[in-house]
Amino acid sequence: MTRLRSCLSFGPAIAFLRRRLSPEGYLGLYLTIGVAVLIGACWVFGEITEDVITGDPLTLVDRRVAAIFNANATPLRNKIMFAISFFGSGTFLGTAGSAGGVYLIWRRSWYRLLALLLVVPGGAMIDVVIKHLIQRQRPVFENPIATLNSYSFPSGHTMGATLFYGLMAALAMRELQGWKPKGGAFLGAVVIVLSVGFSRIFLGLHYLSDVLGAMAAGVAWLALCLTAVETFRRGREKRLSHICSERS
């Protein structure tokens, strides 16, 4: 009798977990994973931001890494890093995003267009807001490779790359069949984002924590947007299916 009561008491909780972990439905596994990634990325971003504001040990690592890269700069390496950095610039991402938007309009892929509009421009605005809230100054060197007057945290190039290439990888993974192509799309996005972030540190325009914070913020915003759009799409399709079944 006691065991039966125990099972009954945990019944609603077990049913709730099953619904959250089910691949079916618009409030199932997809939403659960999205929320988990969002919470994890926000936590990482919060920890990094706290270290930046309070001057915790991470900022000591920042200065050491920046000094090492600046001391090992050469004209050839600088050119390579500038070329890599370009793929995270507003000019490139704005052009590529606009071209992608036109393509999605032509394909009438409205949900993906919505995701693109939320992820990239929305993320750019968030980056500006955070920069002005934290107001961290950029690295200073006796012989700088490049200089900028705007705030440093988080790295706009890295955050833009995380959002754009992360979105492209997510959209590609929905179309590709098999784990190897999907893994290749994901790995490709990771390599590009890490390369852009590395180039910003090497050029002395950002600290390591600027890049790590940008990645965390980008992942959080990307997870929020993709989860919201996909949940909205699935919920709308479910409602439309229910309406059609009632009419028939």
175: amino acid identity, one letter: E
The pLDDT score that the predictor gives to residue 3 is 53
Q: At a CB cut-off of 8 Å and minimum separation 6, what does 148 contact?
A: 138, 205
- In 3D space, the residue among 236, 223, 211 whose CA is nearest the CA of residue 154 turns out to be 211
- Residue 48 · residue 58 · CB < 8 Å: yes
Distance CA 115, CA 92 (A): 19
The per-residue b/e assignment along 237-248, b for 16 or more CB within 10 angstroms, e otherwise, is eeeeeeeeeeee
Mean pLDDT of 30-36: 83
What's the CATH code, domain 30-247?
1.20.144
CA distance 82 to 75: 11
DSSP state of 87: T
The number of C-alpha atoms within 13 Å of 170 and in the hemisphere containing its C-beta is 20
Q: What is the mean pLDDT of residues 222-230?
A: 91
Residues above pLDDT 90, as percent of the chain: 59
pLDDT band per the 50, 70, 90 thresholds, residue 28: low
pLDDT tens, position by position, 96-144: 999 999 999 999 999 999 999 999 999 999 999 999 999 999 998 888 8
pTM metric for this prediction: 0.84
Largest pairwise CA distance in the chain: 79
Residue 237: which pLDDT band, with cuts at 50, 70 and 90? low
**How far lies 218's CA from each of 32, 73, 109, 166, in Å?**
19, 28, 23, 9
pLDDT of residue 136: 92
